[in-house]
Every structure is written in C-alpha cells, then in structure tokens.
Chain A
C-alpha cells in the first residue's frame, strides 16, 4: 500500500511500478466488468462488480485521490454492494437469469451501439492532446482530505448542502416506497384461530421438514407415511421458488429394500416375490 501511495505521489510521469500495477489490475477490472455483465446469477454479478470497484479504489489511490479511494471501499464496496446483495437475497439468490434474448435484434443493436460508442470515445481521447499531466503534488501538499474539505466547504458548499438534502429525500423515498400502510386493526390470535377453523384449513402446527431425521435441511419436504413428499412441510417461499429438494424416491427405495430384507428373513416368499 505504501508503495502504491509512493507511486501516486509522483507528480508528472508514472513509474514502472505504476505501469505494471495498471496493466495487471486494469485487466482484472475489465474482466470483472465483463463478468458483471455476463454472469447468469445476480450474486455472481454483484461479486464481480465488487471486485472491479476495489480495483478502481486502488486506481484512485494511485492517482492521488486518497480520500476517494478509501470512500470507494467503504461506501461503494462496503455499503452499496451490501445493499445490492440484500436485495438479491430478497428477490432470490439462486434464481438464474436466462441470457436468451427475447427482443428481436436487441442484442445486435446493443453490441453495435456499444462498439460504436466505445470506438468513438477512445478515438476522441486519442485525438485529444492529453500529454501534459500536472500531477497532484501541489494540490495534495496540505493533505488530500484537507484540500478536498477546503474546496467542499467553500466553493462547493451549496452543492454539498443540496446533496445532503438529496440523501435525506432518497431515504424518505425508499421508506415510502417500501412501507405498506396498515389500514385496519391487526387481527388477534384468537380471531386468526377462529378464521382457520371456519375455513377448514390445517389446524395444528405445520409438520416439520426432514425425513426420518436423515435429512433435516429446510428445503427437503417431509415424507408422508406412504413415502410421498408433503409440501406443507416446506417454507412457502421455497415452494414458490420451486426450490424443494425431493428425496421421496430414495426413501421409497429404502422402504422397499427394507421390506424385501424383512420378507427374506421371515421366509415369506409370496411377499418377497411381490
């Protein structure tokens, strides 16, 4: 880290170390970005993105933006990506997206536009005369954080205040969006029980998952006495996602083998032949 920081303090040019770091980490960043786009599962995408962001944080540090580099790690990789993961969890971790395109021509158009845009951007940068780098030695002389603070609380103070207001508004907005207003009195336990009786639903507590204590994972349906699985034993979310694992075939096979063995032992051929 200190090496990196030292490399970044170089004012105008770049050291060989920084070049090496750029090529290696840059490759990782591009790979991470590509994986973000191409991974089937949202969780994998999120992890790849987090990796790219960490690489970017290192690049910030290398460019003399110490404060931003740290904030990038804390806020982006730490907070924002965690938020993403929370939502992915809410929506369904394992649900893989189909990457098959449904809109005709969309993929080709997107690739064409992306390619064209990228080429144009790179051509634009290549055309621009950007050979003279001043470096941040002078600006960071009094410390990067102090320098930023001086600017933030003088020149950019109004923008700063407004961004604060924006954050508050966003928080309220998120609350409003996700909050559901209760418009009636919550029903008591007694009322719920009475309703269950009236509707003739399952009265006793739902059966537990797991089969003969051999499988006790929550996604495995408990088996009924005849060996068929009972979906009641599995959480409703899992049921809706279709993430129930079925072990009934195994259990039925076990049952059959047991019956055969006991039939052989008890010398009951008519049973065994069955």
Chain B
C-alpha cells in the first residue's frame, strides 16, 4: 500500500510520440531532457514530441530511467547499459541522435555522437562511403585533386575494413 501512495505523490508526465503513442513517466526522469524540463517549468504535464518516434522514444525513456537512478554503487551497471544502448545499427543511432538533440539530453547526445564518430575513425574515405552508403559526387578529376592535397597535408594510414 505504501508504494501506491508514494507513486501517487510523484508527479507524472505523459509523453506523446510522433506515432501518437503515449508514455507515462515520472517527472524526475523526464526533466533530464532540457526540452521537457522547460515545458514542465511552464506547467505542462502532457508533452507532445512531434519529432520523436515511438521506437526511439522507448529507448530514450529506458535510458532516462536508468540514468535517473544513478548512484555511486551502480556505476558499472550503467556503463554496461550504455554500452548495450549504443550497440545498434546506424539507422537506430541516427534516429536516436536526432531525438536526443530535439530533447536536449546532452549526455546522451555526446555518447551517441562519440559512438558514431568511433565508427568513422581511422577509416579510408572508401570505407566511410560504404559504411554510410554515400555516393561519391566528385568527378574523378576533383577526387584526384583533393587526394593529392590531402596526401600533402598528413600522410596517414587508414583502416580498410568495414566493421
């Protein structure tokens, strides 16, 4: 019984995703997002998020819940959670990064950007193109020119593998 009265005392927020799904979360969890925090401070308890789809929102709520309960003892646990969190496809990562940016959750933003950057790191331009499915829009002449300029700048070694 005690627990139900406790939850009643806790302020709850309703988040609505772009797919019109509604999620109820504790205010203390939600305010980790600057965007939500601003709305809460203006007295809103119903927060429509037209830029965030359900799929990403579920993951982000997971993340927020985990990080809201951060204490000194579960540091390791959160690290493992974060590791799993970013261990996903590029599509998901970009979806999440856009959502995190919209929601202004800077720690999540940084973690996601770092993850994406880590996958570009030390790759050759060809590998980056393949990883992100980018079509090269240079003419062969332009490409040769830039290649030459780059070679003069730094002579680096690239990793040709695609993982």
The answer to whether A and B come from one shared complex is no
